[in-house]
């Protein structure tokens, strides 16, 4: 095999790797969001605020917070793997003289920067488009943070109700 064939095979493997990672991310996302939605529906439908409610929300919430924490860490790792793989793909494109992806990125950047002068956009293209930062991971990390915060508030609410803290606060404030 000559050098070009090796680079083309490596590029193909990198594309398959990116596709597999994307499939894993969206499959895991749909599973975790479904589990969280179901758990939230169960907790709100249950409506008990005694010992049972406290234990249910505490156990379910703590388990889901831990799962979401590790899911968020996994998402960061996948984003890092994307960056490395895209960087290598851009190196292979440069070595083989392939320009399609870089031109698509350039057009996207041009439309994103259409309010700036075209020379500034051109400089940005030269610096930025050796590889493309994958999109979507930041949103997934924010979703996991919001879900963790939501479960934390539910746990705190159940503790407050169980130990009478909310009633005490209402009496102190006079509401």
For residues 105-109, average pLDDT: 65
For residues 29-38, average pLDDT: 88
Higher pLDDT: 27 or 116? It is 27
Q: Can you give the pLDDT at residue 118?
A: 52
Range of the domain at 23: 3-173
For residues 76-97, average pLDDT: 87
Q: Reduced to 3 states, what is the DSSP secondary structure of residue 63?
A: helix
| pTM for the predicted model, two decimal places | 0.65
Q: Can you give the pLDDT at residue 131?
A: 46
Instruction: Give per-residue pLDDT as tens, 39-76.
Output: 888 887 777 777 777 788 888 888 988 888 888 888 88
Instruction: Give per-residue pLDDT as tens, 108-137.
Output: 666 665 545 555 655 565 565 554 455 667
Q: Can you give the pLDDT at residue 153?
A: 83
Question: Of 66, 65, 80, nearest to 25 (Cα)?
Answer: 80
Domain count, the chain: 1
The pLDDT > 90 percentage for the chain reads 11
**Contact call for residues 167 and 49 (beta carbons, < 8 A):** no
Structure tokens at 57: 């929300």
């Amino acid at each position: 095999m000559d050098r070009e064939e090796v680079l083309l095979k490596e590029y193909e493997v990198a594309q398959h790797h990116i596709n597999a990672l994307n499939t894993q991310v969206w499959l895991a996302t749909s599973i975790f969001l479904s589990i969280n939605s179901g758990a939230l529906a169960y907790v709100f439908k249950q409506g008990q605020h005694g010992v049972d409610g406290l234990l249910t929300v505490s156990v379910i919430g703590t388990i889901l917070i831990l799962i979401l924490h590790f899911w968020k860490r996994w998402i960061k790792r996948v984003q890092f793997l994307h960056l490395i793989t895209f960087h290598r793909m851009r190196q292979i494109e440069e070595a083989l003289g392939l320009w399609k992806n870089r031109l698509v990125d350039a057009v996207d950047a041009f439309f994103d920067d259409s309010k700036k002068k075209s020379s500034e956009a051109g400089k940005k293209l030269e610096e930025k488009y050796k590889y493309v930062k994958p999109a979507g991971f930041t949103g997934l990390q924010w979703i996991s943070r919001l879900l963790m915060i939501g479960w934390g508030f539910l746990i705190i609410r159940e503790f407050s109700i169980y130990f009478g803290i909310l009633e005490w606060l209402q009496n102190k404030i006079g509401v």
